[in-house]
Amino acid sequence: MIIHKDCYSTIFKVWLVGAICVFLILKFIPWTFVAYPLCTLPLSVMGFVLFFFRVPDRKKVGGEEAVTSVADGKVVVIEKVYEPEYLKCECMQVSVYMDFFNVHVNFWPISGEVTYYKYHPGKYFLAYLPKASELNEHSSIGIKGAHGEVFFKQLAGTFARRIVCYAKPGNIENKGDQCGIIKFGSRIDMYLPLDADIKVSLGEHVKASETIIAELR
């Protein structure tokens, strides 16, 4: 299992706290039938944090016109909206919500040139709430490919307190390569042209790089 390179410090901190907890339990609780079951809690957290920051091996699907999911998770929004920050026009918004058990590594949805990047500090509302898109801490990224431009946001949530993004305007990126990670539960908002052919439905569970969200015309 490959662990994300930007999560080593987080894993070290969790493991350090977990090891201290195990040490204190074994030192100060003399009854093994009590101490051993208690130790399973910090040990489980230590194991889960490794699982949480795993990097999956994903296949790239679709042609240049196919827009694949930036993240694993559940589709919670499909609607026509006005995007005021960068595109400044009506778009189709498709949002994917990630829970604790989803892979949190993010992947480029199309190949092309990075046209926009901006980090926005903000609040930490529950990521599935509509107001989270504007008020929560987030990164905004635009990428332009051969068949059009895709704009998306990495949104922090109540527990997601750090967003890592590799976007640099002017860089050429490949669909399916890593573009960042959001730590501990969050959401991705994708903004697509109005004439994009949406291929997913509300409530559908999608996989980054392997689920086609839409096809650009």
CB contact at 8 A, 205 and 71? no
Contacts of 15 (CB under 8 A, 6+ apart): 46, 49
Cα separation values, 140 from 11, 27, 112, 188, Å: 26, 49, 16, 10
CB contact at 8 A, 67 and 159? no
Residue 109 to residue 209: CA distance in whole angstroms: 7
Report, as residue numbers or ranges, the catalytic residues. 186
Which residues of 72-134 form beta strands (DSSP E)? 73-83, 89-98, 105-107, 112-120
Q: How far is CA 30 from the centre of its chain?
A: 43
Residue 154 to residue 208: CA distance in whole angstroms: 13
Give helix 32-52 / helix 8-28 axis angle, nearest 10°: 180
